[in-house]
Amino acid sequence: YQMEPVRLSELVIDVLARFCADQNHKIRIIDETIHDSILGDAGRIEQVFTNLVGNAMKFSPGGGEVEIRLVGNEDHILIQILDHGMGIPESELKKLFTKFHRVDNSEQRKVGGTGLGLAISREIIGDHKGEIWIESEEGIGTTVSFTLPLEKKHAEWQTTKGKVAIIEDEPNVAM
């Protein structure tokens, strides 16, 4: 991993530029963050977005809107990707992060994939001290959520090792 400060809002827009070729889906970005700088490997985080937005689009073959929401608090950014596609049966939800696991029903079988994207995404998010989970309703749609700690959180972990740290409010973009 090549860890560096990454502005998530910018990364989302970069990644989405690549998905614009799909005329079938509209993508809405809702960015409610004040600080959006995380410490991470931009290429790997991009890989997570590419898979999740790709999934949202390919599992809603009828088209429709895919929403990407960025919400922040003091410590973390929460990223959510919502679609209004075919959804996932409840019995399958727990198995999705297993390598090569794909939902096996007639509707899902028409959509291609190797079943690796979510397993890899979970590994990458875990290595960035974040969490990832999925909520879904069959026939209604799916929401994939993940969290990433803010960059200033890492600075705090560093400096509180020996002494009390004063953490500045602004992310350190000069790093």
Which residues would be at the binding site for ligand ATP (CB under 6 A)? 51, 55-56, 59, 83, 85-88, 96, 102-103, 108, 113-119, 142
* 112-141: contacts with Mg ion (CB under 5 A): 117
CB 63 within 8 A of CB 151: no
Find which of Mg ion, ligand ATP, none residue 42 binds, CB within 5 to 8 Å per kind: none
Chain centroid offset of residue 114 CA = 19
Residue closer to Mg ion (CB basis): 51 or 147 = 51
Q: In degrees rounded to 5, what are phi and psi of residue 39?
A: -100, 115
The single residue listed with the structure tokens 């990364």 is 11
- Of 147, 116, 140, 133, the C-alpha closest to 59 is 140
Residue closer to ligand ATP (CB basis): 5 or 115 = 115
51 near Mg ion, rule: CB under 5 A? yes
CA angle 115, 116, 117 (to 5 degrees): 105
Residue closer to ligand ATP (CB basis): 87 or 130 = 87
Find which of Mg ion, ligand ATP, none residue 114 binds, CB within 5 to 8 Å per kind: ligand ATP
